Structure 1
Amino acid sequence: MTRLMVLGMLRTKPMSGYEMQQQLQVSEVDKWAGILPGSIYHALKKMDKEGLVRVANVEATGHRVKAIYEITEEGDKEYKNLLISSFSEPSVHLPVLLYTGLSMFNLPNHDIDTERIIAAIEEQKQVLLKKMDDIEAGQKIKAQFIEVNELAKITFQNILDQYKLQIEFLDKIILAMTKGA
């Protein structure tokens, strides 16, 4: 995912790793995409060795030196392949660890503290609610800087719908556990 993001941003204009990181943070893409700041620099160095990007310029400001990268012709081909590939990968990822826990919980003769499990589910709900808030805030921030097109709008809505669906599922688990206790 980092490769696709970095190559995509470099298709818009040459930029430094720091500038890419700032764009991702301002738009809050880094939160839903799971891109860590250090992964941008790692990806740039690796793709430079692979010939997908190259240093177009080196700028010095004070004691700092920053490399400005640009995409190569090979990088553009790689970007197009990654983009097409991103649309073919299954887009639903099931919470298999949670499902496994639920199936184990249903086994007879378990001696498990249901209150602790419910507390853990509540913690998970709080994390999901926080992520929803972050996505909504990111959507508002993005709208301040650029016109949000229809694809971006439906993407944001789908992300929020996924969080809501999972929170509703967690609420149902809590209700079922509470009734069964």
Structure 2
Amino acid sequence: MLLNVAFLCLSIRKSPFIINRKKTVLTLTILYSIIATIKYSKEGAMSAIDLIILGMIKEKPMSAYDLQKNVEYRHISKWVKISTPSVYKKVITLEDKGYINGKTDNENSTLGKVIYSITDKGNDYFISLMKKTSEKMVNVFLDFNAVIVNLNNIDKELGLSLAENISKEIDRYYSVVDKKIEEREHIPFTGKTILKQQLMVGEALKEWSDEFIKTYRQEGEK
């Protein structure tokens, strides 16, 4: 798919039928960047999910249900794309690969809950993922950039309305994170520092949003 976009950019550059070649190539180049980011983000998300699940099990053996509840309680889905179905699927995959081992707990559960623990192979994989992930270039994927790149394709009034929507959601995101920091004073240092990180990201996005809307509005007045 990425290669197809690249070839399309080259063909448009030479095409006699495209009047505004520079603008079209620029748009496609940005789209290429977004597609590449999505691909990179998906690969990174899979590794992140592995790390989260293995880390929780390494900390304390638990069932898939407890893992899912832990993900919800820690609001991990707010900074890693992870859902309830993906937790259960990932547990099955990790067990199939020999990274975790499930044993039925008949003593403490009338339903025979399966409790998972990390294996030596899983621990080695966990450490290698920690090293690999820490060495990756930082990548920030924001869904609303797909809206920003298409603002030139709609009228200015609608574009400003959409930009205002994005700004409101950024403000809402900031407020939610700020509230969590106040509510979760008891959480470990690592959890607190991630919340602080997310708050600082929110601050930067708020500043960017204000500047963008101001500039976008001025462009329409020229």
Superposition TM-score, scaled by structure 2 size:
0.67
Displacement after TM superposition at 1:19 (Å): 1.0
Report 1 or 2 for greater relative contact order, CA contacts < 8 Å, sequence distance ≥ 6: 1
Task: Name which one, 1 or 2, has greater alpha-carbon Rg.
Answer: 2
Residue 121, structure 1, aligned to residue 170, structure 2: no
Pairwise mapping of residues 1-80 of structure 1 onto structure 2 (< 5 A)?
1-59=48-106, 61=109, 64-80=111-127
User: Could you tell me how far apart the structure 1 residues matched to 2:81 and 2:177 are?
Assistant: 13
Q: 1:72 corresponds to which letter in structure 2?
A: T
Check whether the contact 2:167–2:209 (CA below 8 A) recurs between aligned residues: yes
Aligned residue in 1 for 2:138: 91
What is the TM-score with the length of structure 1 in the denominator? 0.80
Question: Match for 1:15: what amino acid?
Answer: M
Change (3 A) 1:167 1:173: same
Q: Residue type matched to 1:155 in 2?
A: I
Q: Give SS of 2:79's match.
A: helix
Residue 94 of structure 1, CA deviation: 5.9
Gaps of 5+ in 1: none
Distance 1:41 1:140, change over 3 A: farther
Q: Equivalent of 1:165, from 192, 204, 215? A: 204
Residues 128-137 or 12-21, more deviating: 128-137
1:39 Cα shift?
A: 1.1
- Match of residue 176, structure 2, among 119, 127, 134: 134
- Listed one character per residue, the Cα deviations across residues 30-84 of structure 1 (whole Å, up to 9, x for unaligned) are 222221111111111001110000113335856x553111111100001101111
Question: Percentage identity across aligned positions?
Answer: 20
Q: CA RMSD in A?
A: 2.4
Count of residue pairs the alignment pairs up: 170
Amino acid corresponding to residue 133 of structure 1 in structure 2: S
- For 2:202 and 2:173, locate their aligned partners in 1 and report how far apart those are by CA, in whole Å: 8
Per-residue CA deviation, residues 8-45 of structure 1 (Å, 9 max, x unaligned), is: 01111110111112122222222222211111111110
> Residues of 1 paired with 2:81 and 2:180: CA distance?
14
On the 8 A contact 1:3/1:43 being kept in 2, the answer is yes
**Gap regions ≥5 residues in structure 2:** 1-47
What is aligned with 2:149? 100
